[in-house]
Each structure stands twice: as structure tokens, then as C-alpha cells.
A and B are shown apart, each in its own frame.
Chain A
Amino acid sequence: MYTFSSKLKTLSIVLILLGIFGIGYGFLTAPKNIEDVQKILDAESAHHGGGHHEAAKEAAHEMPKVLPAQQNQSVEKEVAHESEEVVMEAKDTIAVKPLDTVATDSAKVAVANVEHHDGEYAAPAEHHQTEAEAHAEHEDHLKHVLTQLQNKPWAALYVACIFIMLISLGALAFYAIQQVAQAGWSPVLFRVMQGITAYLPVGSVIFFVLLILAGMHYNHLFVWMAEGVTQKGHENYDKLVAAKSGYLNFPFWIIRAAIFLIGWNLYRYFSRKNCLAQDESSDNSFYKKNFKMSATFLVFFIVTESIMSWDWIMSVDPHWFSTLFGWYVFASFFVSGITTIAMVTLYLKSKGYLEFVNNSHIHDLAKFMFGISVFWTYLWFSQFMLIWYADIPEEVTYFWTRIELYNLPFFGAVVMNFVFPILILINSDFKRLTWVVVMAGIVILFGHYVDFFNMIMPGTVGDRWFIGIPEIGSLCFFIGLFILVVFTALTKVPLLAKRNPFIEESKHFHY
């Protein structure tokens, strides 16, 4: 039996407390109204000095080089179909230019100046604005920035919450696959995997609460939930979102979420229960039950996982869609789940709790980390390259905002999730070394956090992103909670399954 080391317990509690302070700080410092935003913008423009016009011009000149030259023209033609993001950006720039405030917004000048928020051409209009119009534009801009800044602590919380919850879901999917594949190497790790998935119920509850809060308009994470978006004639009316409201409406959305979370948790609960019953039983009936249940779960999982990715992640950009998105999200948290299994296993092994785990088991886990990292990259690139190549304006804005505003995290994620693991974990000897696997694991996990950050943030906070106290605080909170829940669960049952039909093979597994 594993005993939770007091040091680790203290660490997890410290992380939780630090996280609560960080999250609280994020919410307390978020602006309350547009006066606060005005102050922030004034402070920013005072701080940055007058360099914005130059920056704006440079950015405008850079544009044609960054994307194919025909891009601007096609944007002009497609004005009416442009996504809301770009509409918002247009508002920014129009208001910003005369006031010379926000530097980052001006990066989008080239796109923005071809259109006005109501579809007119903005470039000439800009110069003929009356003072009253300019004032109204400015108010709009302040409201837009206010929304983004108020979203920031929520989005930070949301990203960390969904990421850590999906890690335990990834571990659960891996566990189910191992059961169904009748893998001979992994049964000695089943209890570790079950420990990791113990976070799933806790994470699900917190996540579900976050979803409900979003639905109760405590935040603006999901644009399609805003008031009046589906109501013709309302100032928020959005034709594209209205057309999707048969799918994207709060009741249906929250019911789906409940079904998914309950389904996953039921599998986790009964699978663990049967596994423990198998220890005490005299035949293999519980093992067979688990086999059938795992196969059913995998079917349920792949359907719900795909829908989950549209509901919880893709719908922060409700004007954008991608077919392989579900797979892409899956690869991201699946590899994180496997990495977490490897790291928890190495930790327990180093404390002497896993007698039968040898470096061949670690080698296998590292091989999965390597392989699924490459799989993630394959999907990342496939999604990016298809959209980049065809360059259809309504699709390409997704990557446009990411490359322009999130350049380092966007490409940094590829370096951390692909270049680093492929160079480190390609070597068979390295895959057996604890420190190499742990180091690669830390980079992969951080890389996939950044990946989720890239998926959520551009649609919620736009150019106002920063990995600061609210983001790190949220991450600390959920990591602390994860450690606390997982290692408490590990103390509850023996770390070696007794009567699994493959346990002997697994004990002597040697690669």
C-alpha cells in the first residue's frame, strides 16, 4: 500500500492555496467598467510612448509578405462574410487610430481597414468621422476591451480546468485501450492509471460548474451565449450564430456536457470497482465484464470526445469550424495523459512502491509519448496546412489571429510538442532513463497546456493575452488539486492488481 508522503501533500496544498490567491487576484484586478478600461488604456499609451504609429505602419507593410498577396483583396470581397473576430478588430482599429492607444490592435490594420463593423468600407470613412461618431466608436472599443479583460481570469481558469480534467480523461482512454487490447505489459500500471483517473469526478464537477456559470452570463467566454445574438433586429444579432442555434443553444449544450461527463465517470467508477472485485474473485468474470465495458466505453468515448471538442473548445470561435478538430484535441490530451502516467509511475517507482515496474515498462510508455506526440503534430500540421493552403478567408482568420497575436505560443507549442520530444525520445537508451523521460514529460505537458491556451485564448481574450498571475495561479490550483486527489486515491488500494489474467506476463515484461 502506498502512503501519501507528507511533503507531497504539503506541496499540493501549497499549490492549491497559491492558486486560489492567483485566481482571486485575477478576478479582483479585472476591470469593472469602461472607466477602468480607459485608465488602463491611458496608462498603456503613456507607458509605450508614441511608437504606435510606426508599429502600425510596419505591421501594415508586413502583411502582404506574411500571407499570400491576394489575401487582402479576397478579404475586401468577403467583407460581409468575415468572422466576428475581424469585425471586432475593425472596431478596435478605427477607434484606436485617432487616439493612438493600443499598439497590438494595430497589427491587424491591413485586415481591419478594409471594413467597418457594419460592413461599410472603413478606410475612407475613418477620415470623415464626425466627433460624435468617433466617440461612439471609442465607446465600442472600450466595451470590447472590457469584455476581453473581464474574460481573462475566467479563460485562465477555464483553460487550466479543462486541460487537467482532460489529462485524467486521456489516462482513462489509455487504460480502456490497454484493457481491450489485452496488453501484456501494462497490467502492473493499471492501479497507477486508476489513481490518475480518480481526478476525473472532481475535475468534472468543477468544470461543469464553470460551464453553468458561463451559461448564467457570469462571463463572456462563449460569444454565442450572449444576449440577442439569435434575435433579429437586436444589436448583438449574428446571422451565422443564429443559423447554428439549433445546435449551439445553452440547454442542449449543457445536457450534452452532463451526458458526456456522467458517461465517462460511470465507466471509470465501474471499471475500478470490477478491477478490485477481480482481486478477490475465484474466476475471471469481472475481468471479462471490464473487457466488454471498456470496448463499449471506447465507442462512447470517441463519439463524445469529438462532440466535446466542438462544444467546449471550438465553440469559443463560433464562426469557425474544422473537421479534424476532435482528433486534434484528442491527440493533445491523450499524449498528456500518457505522459502523466509515465511521470506518476516514475515517481512511485523512485519511492520504491512499484516492485514489478522495470525500465522496459518505462521504455514502452516513453515510446507512446513519442509516437502520440508525432501524431499530435501530424494533426496540428494537417489542420494548419489545409487551411493555410486553401486560404479561404472565413477559415483562415483562425490562424491569422493566432500567428499575428500568439506567434510565440503558437509556434512554441510545436517546438515543445514535436521538435523536443522527437529529438530526445527517438533514442532507445534515452527512453529508459528516468531523468530524460521526466524532462521530456515536463516539456510535453507544458507544451500541451500552451496548446489548449492557444485554442481558447484568442477567441476569449484576443490580443489581451498574457501568461501572468491568473493563468499560472489557475494552473497551480488545478495541479495541486490533481496531486492531492490522485495520490490520495493511490493510498486506497494496493498498487498491484492480484488476479488479472495478464499480471504475470506484465511482471516479467521485458523489452
Chain B
Amino acid sequence: MSSNKVIYAIYNDDDVLMDAVKKTRAAHHHIEEVFTPFPVHGLDKAMGIAPTRLAICAFIYGLCGLSFATWMMNNIMISDWPQDIGGKPSFSYIQNMPAFVPVMFEMTVFFAAHLMVITFYMRSRLWPFKEAENPDVRTTDDHFLMEVAVKGDEADMVTFFQNTGAVEVKVIEKH
């Protein structure tokens, strides 16, 4: 195959884009990527993208935070130096637990939130000096772009995408 060639099909309406995505999938063309200026509801389903597991990560991170807070408070307040502070019972963790719950709660939320965000950045390869991967500047404003790998007859594919309501169809050689 010839192929590191891709087609950029550009649309100016999210409904047209959704239809085009469905048609493209039905015609068994492989969609590499879709660029949109805002989240298009249902696009991931139409493209057949697997659901995110970020929530599961967050749950596990939350458990880590809870464990960490429990270990920390137990270590500091009960094991290491069990002082009598204002008569609070520091004989065992459970006896003084109500006083530790605010810490346990906040730590759970802190770990769940921050580690999930970091996971998101890592998985979506986002960082401060990252070079933007935008194929067409208009896609951040008011245009939608679908990138499809060229396989088989190029001209046929171009006609196919023109028929899906694209305002522009480009064939690009990718490096």
C-alpha cells in the first residue's frame, strides 16, 4: 500500500459531522481522528471509541488516599506519640477516629482528584510545552475535521467524503 496518505474531510456543522462519521463507519473506512472545537455529544459512541476508565482510576486513587490518611494519622497520633491532647482517647485508632475523619475524607478527595487529573494529562499527552497537533487552525474555532487513512482507490474515497456533506476534502501526505 502506498500509504501514509490521509484524507482531511472538513465540516462546518456537528450534525453533518455525526452523519458523516456514521456513514464512514458503515463504509468501513478507518477513522484516525476527529478534531472538533467543542465536545460533540455522542461522537465517541458514533466513532466506536471504548469508554474511558478514568473513573475506575479515580476510585482506586481515592482508596489509596484513604489508606494513606489512615496510616498517617494512626502512625502519628496513636503509634508514635500517643499523647493525651485535651482528653481525646488515643489508645487505639478506632477510639479517636471521629477526629480523623475530616482528614481521611479530604485526603481521599485530594488523591482521587489530583491523581486522576494527572492520569488524564499523561494518557492524553498534555503538558505545558507540548507542540499543538492541530491539523487545521479552523478546527479550534468553527470547523470539524475528520482524518481518514487512505486505503484503496484515492479518487473514490474523495468522492465518498464529498458526498458526506464535507465543505472541503484534502488528501495529505503524512510523515
Size bracket, chain A contacts: 10 to 19
Partner of A68, one of B55, B59, B89, B101: B89
A66 at the binding interface (Cβ < 8 Å): yes
**B55's closest neighbor in chain A, by CB?**
A428
CB-defined contacts of A70 to chain B, threshold 8 Å: 87
- In the bound complex, what is the Cα–Cα distance between A228 and B84 (angstroms)? 45
Name B65-97 residues within 8 Å CB distance of A: 84, 87-89, 91, 95
**A73's closest neighbor in chain B, by CB?**
B87
B98 at the binding interface (Cβ < 8 Å): yes
B167 at the binding interface (Cβ < 8 Å): no
Main secondary structure of the interface of B (DSSP, over half): helix
A7 at the binding interface (Cβ < 8 Å): no
A4 at the binding interface (Cβ < 8 Å): no
Q: How far is the CB of A428 from chain B (nearest CB, A)?
A: 8
Binds B, one of A260-268, A381-389, A478-486: A381-389
CB atoms of B95 and A391 under 8 A apart: no
Q: How far is the CB of A52 from chain B (nearest CB, A)?
A: 26
CB atoms of A69 and B59 under 8 A apart: no
CB atoms of B89 and A385 under 8 A apart: no
**A74's closest neighbor in chain B, by CB?**
B87
A426 at the binding interface (Cβ < 8 Å): yes
B16 at the binding interface (Cβ < 8 Å): no
CB-defined contacts of A426 to chain B, threshold 8 Å: 59
CB atoms of B98 and A389 under 8 A apart: yes
CB atoms of B87 and A66 under 8 A apart: no
Partner of A65, one of B89, B98, B101: B89
CB-defined contacts of B98 to chain A, threshold 8 Å: 381, 384-385, 388-389
24 A-B pairs with C-beta separation under 8 A: A65-B89, A65-B91, A65-B95, A66-B89, A66-B95, A67-B89, A68-B87, A68-B88, A68-B89, A69-B84, A69-B89, A70-B87, A71-B87, A381-B98, A384-B98, A385-B98, A385-B99, A385-B101, A388-B98, A389-B98, A389-B99, A391-B87, A426-B59, A428-B55
- Chain B: residues with CB nearer than 8 A to chain A? 55, 59, 84, 87-89, 91, 95, 98-99, 101
- Chain A: residues with CB nearer than 8 A to chain B? 65-71, 381, 384-385, 388-389, 391, 426, 428
